[in-house]
Structure 1
C-alpha cells in the first residue's frame, strides 16, 4: 500500500482526539520514551475493574506512527504469594510510514506483579501476537512485547524502566520491520 496524505494526518488526529477526552474518565496515563520514539497510553479503568480498555499513540523517528487500542478482561490473582493483576484479551495496532502501512489484532495479555516486601515496587509484562489471518495492509504478522520495572514514587504517580519490542513481517516481501524497539523510561499518573 502506498502512503497517502490523508492517512498521514488521520492517525495523529485520531490519537489526539482519544487523548483529549481521556482525562475525564481515565484511570491512568503513561508516557514512555525510547531513543527513537515517544508513546502515550491511557487506560480507562483501574485494576479493580473486571475490564480494561486502553488507547495509545507512538511517534517513531522517521515519520512512523503507531496507534493501538486495547481490550482485556482483567482480575486480581496471586503468583505464588505475590499479589498480581492479570489480563487476557486483544491489542489492535495500526501503523503508517512513508512507503508502507498495516496493522493487526493481537491476542495476548499482561500481568503486574507487586512485591509486598518492597512497597511501591512492581514488575509488568505484556505480550500480544497476531498471525497472518489477523493482520492487514503490509503486515503479515505482528509481535508486541513489553517488560517494565515500576516504582510508585507517590500515591498517584510511578516511574518505570523497561524494554519494548514491536515487529511485523512484511507481506509479499522478504523481511520484517521493527516498528519500535528499545530500552524505555517513563512515568505513569493515576487519576
Structure 2
C-alpha cells in the first residue's frame, strides 16, 4: 500500500512539473524524516507546488500535498497564500483534505542574504475524507543564500492531525536542515 501511495505521489509531482516550469526544488531532512518538494510558476503571481514526505517520527507516515498559491516577491519579502490538498497514510489513520494557508519570509537588512519566516496550513473537518478529521502543518525557517540559485536553511516543522477513533496526534515534528534550488 505504501508503494502505491508513493507512486501516486511521484505521479502528482511529475504532473506538477509538466504543468509549470520548475522554479524550485526543495529537499529537507532530519533523523526521522525526509521531504522532497517541487514548485513552478503557472503565470506571474500563481505558483503550483507539490511535496512528498516520509517520516517515522511518531509511527510510519507518508504524506503528499499539492497546492496553488497566489504569490508576491519583492526585494525584501516573499509571501504566498492559497489552498492545499494533503493526503496522509499513517499508523494513526488515513485520509486527507483541502486546507488553506500560506507562507511569508522577510530579508534581514543587516545580513541581506539571510531571510526568516515560516508557513502554516489548516485543514478543517468540513473538507476532509476517509479517517482524517482535521489537521495542521506549521514551520519556521532561517534561510541563507549560499549561491545565486541556492538557499540552505535550518528550521522546525510540526504536522498535527486528528483521525476518527483517535486523539490529536503529532505525526511529524522536529528540527530540520534543507536546501532549496531556484531556477
Residues of 1 paired with 2:41 and 2:116: CA distance? 19
Residues of 1 paired with 2:124 and 2:28: CA distance? 27
Could you list the per-position Cα deviations for residues 97-155 of structure 1 after superposition, in whole angstroms to 9, with x for gaps in the alignment?
A: 35620112111111121123312101131111111101221111111101100000010
Gaps (5+ residues) in structure 1?
Answer: none
Gaps (5+ residues) in structure 2?
Answer: none
Residues of 2 paired with 1:31 and 1:116: CA distance? 27
CA distance 1:102–1:18, shift in 2 (3 Å): closer
Among 13, 22, 28, the residue aligned to 1:26: 22
Residues of 2 paired with 1:18 and 1:136: CA distance? 19
Alignment of 1:127-146 (within 5 A): 127-146=120-139
Among 172, 175, 183, the residue aligned to 1:183: 175
Deviation at 1:18, TM superposition (A): 4.1
Residues of 1 paired with 2:7 and 2:169: CA distance? 24
Alignment of 1:147-166 (within 5 A): 147-166=140-159
Aligned length: 179
Retained in 1: the 8 A contact 2:92–2:166?
Answer: no
Among 51, 54, 75, the residue aligned to 2:49: 54
Task: Tell me the TM-score normalized by structure 2.
Answer: 0.88
- Structure 2 residue matching 1:35: 3-state secondary structure: coil
Retained in 2: the 8 A contact 1:135–1:142?
Answer: no
Retained in 2: the 8 A contact 1:35–1:182?
Answer: no
Is 1:40–2:32 an aligned residue pair?
Answer: no
RMSD: 2.2
1:70 corresponds in structure 2 to 67
Deviation at 1:177, TM superposition (A): 2.0
Is 1:17–2:19 an aligned residue pair?
Answer: no
Task: Tell me the TM-score normalized by structure 1.
Answer: 0.84
More strand by share: 2
